[in-house]
Amino acid sequence: MRIHILQHEKFEGPGYIEDWIRGKNHELTYTRFYENSELPASDGFDFLIIMGGSMSVNDEQRFPWLKQEKQFIKSAIENGKIVLGICLGAQLIASSLGKKVFPNLYKEIGWFEITLTPEAKGNKLFDFFPNETNVFHWHGDTFDLPDNATHIAASQGCRNQAFVYKDKVIGLQFHIEATESLLRSMAANGLDELVEDKYIQTEEQLLNGIRFCRQNNTLLKHLLNRLEEEFFKS
């Protein structure tokens, strides 16, 4: 597979995703928006992965490339590409499909449990997922679900944690790609956000959660394997 990653922040890379890609010997290319905004042709990739970032999808005046990026994501979906969005990436998918992205009631930063919805139990991409699992979050915004999307997971602090759209497009509000080095990088660059609030943990609590990274990465491995199977079946 030819996999293209959209990365928004230098400190928020693909983590375990790159390990999986290298291990499978798939072709990997990047658009790193903090360096340049050049995007590939639609026939230049099979699988699009959209990473997180500290900006909002609504910050088009500050980051003019966001408008182009959303059009690119919409085109990838319409062209039947496999698409995975994480955190900001999930919000960008929702926005590209015409849905609102807006501040959540609470910021959610740290290790918090997500619970699968009843609709997720029969979904072929998520039927291996545990009913409840502790995952890493770092977001202030949320989104309305795209029309005809399957709602996959929720947390106490944020209802829309994951969705599947047309069997090939997945949005994850949480970070199961986080490795120890990625988590430390995100924490070091976001210390000013770690203020006392209902769903914001301390730096110490964040780093204590490193023990969950391997379990989270295993879940992501299975999910990426399912998406790979979908590609080779098509």
- 233 pLDDT higher than 90: no
Pairing between β-strand 101-116 and β-strand 169-172 as defined by DSSP bridges: unpaired
User: What strands, in cross-sheet order, belong to the sheet with 2-7?
Assistant: 27-32, 2-7, 47-50, 82-86, 169-172, 162-165, 150-155, 101-116, 132-143
Segment 183-220, tens digit of pLDDT: 999 999 999 999 999 999 999 999 999 999 999 999 99
Pairing between β-strand 82-86 and β-strand 169-172 as defined by DSSP bridges: parallel
- 122 pLDDT higher than 90: no
Question: What local confidence, expressed as pLDDT, does residue 234 receive?
Answer: 75
Paired tokens of 9: 């922040």
Q: Running DSSP on this structure, what letter comes out for residue 197?
A: B
Tally of CB atoms within 10 A around 84? 25
Structural domains of the chain ordered from first start: 2-233 (3.40.50.880)
Segment 79-113, tens digit of pLDDT: 999 999 999 999 999 999 999 999 999 999 999 99
CA atoms within 13 A on the CB side of 61: 0
Average pLDDT in the chain: 97
CA distance 184 to 194: 14
Paired tokens of 45: 């990739």
From the DSSP assignment, how many helices (H) and strands (E) are in the chain?
Answer: 6, 9
- Confidence grade of residue 145 (pLDDT, cut at 50, 70, 90): very high
Pairing between β-strand 101-116 and β-strand 150-155 as defined by DSSP bridges: antiparallel
Query: Between the CA of residue 91 and those of 57, 207, 209, what are the distances in Å?
Result: 7, 26, 25
- Confidence grade of residue 230 (pLDDT, cut at 50, 70, 90): confident
